[in-house]
Structure formats: structure tokens, C-alpha cells
Amino acid sequence: YPGHAATDDALLERRSDAYSPIQGHYYARPPRIERGWREHLVDVDGRHYLDMVNNVTLLGHGHPVIARAAEQQWRLLNTNSRFHYSAVAELSERLLETVPHGAFDTVLLVNSGTEAVDLALRLGRAFSGRADVACVEESYHGWSLAADAVSTSTSDNPRANETRPPWVHVLDAPNAYRGRHRGDGAGTAYAHDAVIRIAEWAAAGTPVGTFIAEPRNGNAGGIAVPAGYLGPVYDAVRAGGGVVVSDEVQVGYGRQGSVFWGFEEHGVVPDIVTIAKGMGNGHPLGAVITRTEVIDALADQGAIFSSAGGSTLSSRIGVTVLDVLRDEDLQGNALRVGERLRHELERLADRHRLIGAVHGRGLYLGVELVRDRETLEPASEETRLLCDRLLELGVIVQPTGDRGNVLKVKPPLCLSSGSADFFVTTLERALDEVG
Ligand code: PMP
């Protein structure tokens, strides 16, 4: 069938020989994709795929405005942020315009989400004067020593929960669908448990200096952090002298449609925001947004300098991404198309019992597949088969979560309603065959 016919086996073999397989690839026999346009990918045989996976390409593939801005900037100048040029100031100001006024006043630019998280943890440690960090189960925050230490997802590391360093403390995943507390009131119940744990860690001489969590559990499939959870947890950490980080790398930057930042949904304001992925539309770009006093705490421990972070090129691309996001009203599109998609997926759930829940908001959705709606037995094998079949039918989507039973739906924000409908129709066809 077409996707497989396009596979360039020899190239794949060269890749496996020369590039470490520890960083794997989608699909056992992936199509060879060399072009993209908006939410579409095109393989070397000219076959088109609907890309429901690329949240990094926030604006869409091959965006001409980004390509032009990048080319112009390359021709003019690309240097590091120790030089004086307009783009670094412009991007920092534009980022500060997106966060609550008065709560944040400064930005640091880096190259990735991992770097942003690593820096946030360093800042949290310096500002609170405490090494201990609390995070939640089933999360992913990056691959550096510190970011990996707070990454608890067993889909990335099957031994994650047995191998955390002693300064990392793990709270239950506040999952109101399949966790210990379910339904209405779950947020308050999880918060109650978390506040007790935080007090216990303090009593044991390991008070939490930094709390890091996503405002919506991205890695688990866009599963909501239930209302009433983050507020009390933030309060408890701060009351004990700690700071709180909202990791917005996955779910922030307008993707949820109704809000630009995920924390807004919870009526809370963190001390530190981390962001990357979509802010460069695929160009390596990340940021930490915080208060000057937090950064000042690190000042007597050395400077922070990244050779490419905040470079002329990266900053120019960052500004242009924000321009396009605004000019094309892509957050609005995420809201409109995302709601339509969610609605259609929920209707599909009425017809297909394999769909246990449709999680998420805007264009960050998770379709959780279960064998039994009472026991919630994960349909992990079926999810894998569905993804393989969807590839054959021209849709790229991947399983996520610790049980591998959630279809993670996070396409470029320019997704058209026609493409959303195509996704639902194709998923229905695949479910008829697999489920
Ligand atoms: N935080 C979260 C929530 C993420 O999902 C990721 C990447 N998936 C990261 C941090 C790390 O970002 P990067 O891959 O840019 O290093």
C-alpha cells in the first residue's frame, strides 16, 4: 500500500547504522517524508498525509512568512545576544505582553524545552534556597539531567518511578478519569492529598523548593488537571518558601484555544513559565518567563549565557511566529476547529465503545481507548494497530500515555475544518476495522 511503497529501506538502514536508534522513529516502516505544507505532509512518492502530531510546527509546515523572515535575517546578521539588536528586545517584550501584567517582568531565551525546564529548576533552587523538587506522575519535562529527574512518565522510561534521585518527590497524577479520585471534586481531593504530602516532606527535612507541573497533562494525552488542584498546591508550596513552575512547552501558546497559557484556565499565576516547541515553529527556541528577583537569586552563582539562545535569527523567528499567530487568528482557529473536532469525536464515542473518553481542549486532544468502560482496561494493542491503519489511510497520529492507549491529537493550529472532518471519518473507518 502507498505509505509502505514510499519507504526508502536503504535510507532507513543508513539511518539506523549512523544515527543512534535510542532516538527512535515513528512506525516500524515509516514513509519517507521530505515536504510539508500547512497541516499536510508529503512523501517522496507524492502521497499526502494529514499531520495530527506536529505541535512543534504551530503555524503549519512550510510557512512562507517564517521562511522569508528567516532568510532575510540570515542575510543580514545572526549573532549571539551579547550583541545589541532589536529582535531580542522585541521578542522579550512581546512575550511579557502575553502574561499577567505585574506578575512577570523578565525573560531568558534558550534553545529548547529541556533547557527552559533545566533553567527553571536552577532558578527555583537558587531563589528558594532548597534543592528539593515536587513533580507529578506521568509527566515529561525533558532529557537533561535535571529535566529528566522530574520526568516521571513510564512511556519514556519504564523504570521512571523507581529511579528518581532523592531530591525529587512525586505526587499522584491528578487524573479525574482513571486515577484514585474521579469525577467532580477530584481536583480538591487530589489537592488535599498533595498538601499533606508537601507538609510531610517539609517535616522530614526536605521542604519543596520548586514545584513543576503542566497545567494540562500533555504527555498523558491532554488530560485535564482537575479544577481546584493547582491553586491549593501552589499555595502550599509558596507557604513553605518554594516557587512554582508552569511547564507550558506542550499545551501553552494558544493551542488550547480558549486561553493563551494553560495556567489561565486554573485562575493561578506561577512564578516561572517555561515554553519552547511552537514558539519557533520548529526552529529551536525556548524561553523562561519570570520575575527579576527570581533571576537575581542566581546572579551570585554565575552568569546565564546561551550562544544561540536569543540569537538574532531565533529572536526574529520568535517575533514573526507571534505575528503570524495574531494575523491568522490561529488561537481562534484552535478554539473553533478544536471544539468542532472534539464534538465530532464525542459523537464517534457514542458509536464506538472502544473510545472511553475524549480529553483535551482546542487543538490539544486525547482520544483514550479502553476495552471496557467500567474497568477502563487500556486498549493499548488496539491503539497501536489503529495508528498503523491510520497511516495506511493517510493520517499521522501517535499513541501516548503510560499505557499507550491515548491517541494524541495535536496538529498545527492552521488545521482546517475539512481536515478535522477527514480525521474523524478516517478514524471511524479504522475503528470499524480494528475495534
Ligand atoms: N516539557 C514538556 C511538557 C514537554 O512536552 C517537552 C517535550 N516533549 C519538554 C519539556 C522538552 O522540550 P524539548 O523537546 O524542546 O527539549
Distance 423 CA to ligand 1 centre (A): 25
Domain covering 2-59+329-434: architecture: Alpha-Beta Complex (3.90)
- Cα Rg of the chain, angstroms: 21
Distance 282 CA to ligand 1 centre (A): 13
For 257, the grid coordinates are: 484555544
DSSP state of 369: E
CB 282, CB 316: distance < 8 Å: no
- pLDDT score recorded for residue 301: 84
User: Which ipTM was obtained for this model?
Assistant: 0.99
Does any ligand 1 atom lie closer than 6 A to the CB of residue 218? yes
Does any ligand 1 atom lie closer than 6 A to the CB of residue 281? no
Does any ligand 1 atom lie closer than 6 A to the CB of residue 141? yes
Report how far residue 59's alpha carbon sits from residue 336's, in angstroms, rounded to the nearest whole number. 16
Q: In residues, how long is the chain?
A: 435
What SS3 state is found at 4? helix
C-beta atoms surrounding 210 within 10 Å: 28
Nearest-CA residue for atom 14 of ligand 1: 113
Q: What are the sequence ranges of the domains in the chain?
A: 2-59+329-434, 64-327
C-beta atoms surrounding 165 within 10 Å: 12
Report how far residue 195's alpha carbon sits from residue 207's, in angstroms, rounded to the nearest whole number. 12
Report how far residue 279's alpha carbon sits from residue 288's, in angstroms, rounded to the nearest whole number. 12
pLDDT in tens, the chain (435 residues): 344 444 578 889 899 999 998 888 999 889 999 999 999 999 998 999 999 999 999 999 999 999 999 999 999 999 999 999 999 999 999 999 999 999 999 999 999 999 999 999 999 999 999 999 999 999 999 999 999 999 999 998 899 988 999 999 999 999 999 999 999 999 999 999 999 999 999 999 999 999 999 999 999 999 999 999 999 999 999 999 999 999 999 999 999 999 999 999 999 999 999 999 999 999 999 999 999 999 999 988 888 899 999 999 999 999 999 999 999 999 999 999 999 999 999 999 999 999 999 999 999 999 999 999 999 999 999 999 999 999 999 999 999 999 999 999 999 999 999 999 999 999 999 999 986
Mutate to test the pocket of ligand 1, among 152, 277, 285, 288 (most ligand atoms within 8 A of CB): 277
Mutate to test the pocket of ligand 1, among 250, 261, 263, 288 (most ligand atoms within 8 A of CB): 250
Going across the sheet that includes 243-247, the strands are 106-110, 286-290, 272-275, 243-247, 210-213, 133-136, 168-171
Distance 237 CA to ligand 1 centre (A): 23
Does any ligand 1 atom lie closer than 6 A to the CB of residue 117? yes
Report how far residue 172's alpha carbon sits from residue 234's, in angstroms, rounded to the nearest whole number. 15
CB 305, CB 108: distance < 8 Å: no
Mutate to test the pocket of ligand 1, among 23, 141, 150, 155 (most ligand atoms within 8 A of CB): 141
CB 219, CB 153: distance < 8 Å: yes
- pLDDT score recorded for residue 86: 97
Q: Which atom of ligand 1 is nearest to the CA of 276?
A: 15
CB 370, CB 358: distance < 8 Å: no
What SS3 state is found at 289? strand
CB 209, CB 125: distance < 8 Å: yes
Q: Which residue(s) pair with 274 in the sheet?
A: 247, 288
Pick one of 3.10.20.30, 3.30.70.270, 1.10.10.10, 3.40.640.10 as the CATH number of 64-327: 3.40.640.10
Nearest-CA residue for atom 12 of ligand 1: 113
Distance 155 CA to ligand 1 centre (A): 14
Residue type, 247: D
In whole angstroms, how far apart are CA 301 and each of 13, 75, 125, 296, 426? 46, 37, 11, 10, 55
Nearest-CA residue for atom 10 of ligand 1: 141
Reported as type and span, the H/E element at residue 107 is strand 106-110
CB 287, CB 275: distance < 8 Å: yes
Residue in the block written with cell 521530505: 34
What SS3 state is found at 124? helix
What's the sign of the alpha-carbon dihedral 64, 65, 66, 69? positive
Number of H helices, E strands in the chain: 13, 17
Report how far residue 254's alpha carbon sits from residue 323's, in angstroms, rounded to the nearest whole number. 13
- pLDDT score recorded for residue 362: 98
In whole angstroms, how far apart are CA 420 and each of 196, 218, 315, 391, 430? 43, 20, 32, 16, 15
Does any ligand 1 atom lie closer than 6 A to the CB of residue 253? no
DSSP state of 271: S
